Amino acid sequence: MSVFNEDIISEVWKHIPFTYMKMVSTTSKNFSYLYNNMTIEDRETAKYKEAGSLSKYCSIIIDETCKNNKYKKPHLTFIFTKYLDNYKDKYSADSYNYYLISLVFVILTHTVNRKFNKVMEIINATKYHDNNNNIATLMFLTKLITTPFLFDKNYAWYTSDLLNTVCKLYYFHLTKNMFVDKKNFRDTRELELNMFKYKYNYNYLKFTHKLPNYILNYLTELV
Question: Poorest-confidence range of 15-19, 104-108, 139-143?
Answer: 15-19
Q: Is the pLDDT of residue 223 over 60?
A: no
- Which pLDDT band, with edges at 50, 70 and 90, does 187 fall under? confident
| DSSP annotation string for 12-79 | HHHTS-HHHHHHHTTS-HHHHHHHHT--HHHHHHHHHHHH-SHHHHHHHHHHHHHHHHTPPPPTHHHH
Q: Is the pLDDT of residue 219 over 80?
A: no
Cβ pair 87, 136 in contact under 8 A = no
Question: Poorest-confidence range of 57-71, 104-118, 183-197?
Answer: 183-197
SS3 call for 155:
coil
pTM: 0.84
pLDDT per position as a tens digit, 39-66: 888 889 999 999 999 999 999 999 999 9
As a whole number, mean pLDDT of residues 183-198 equals: 83
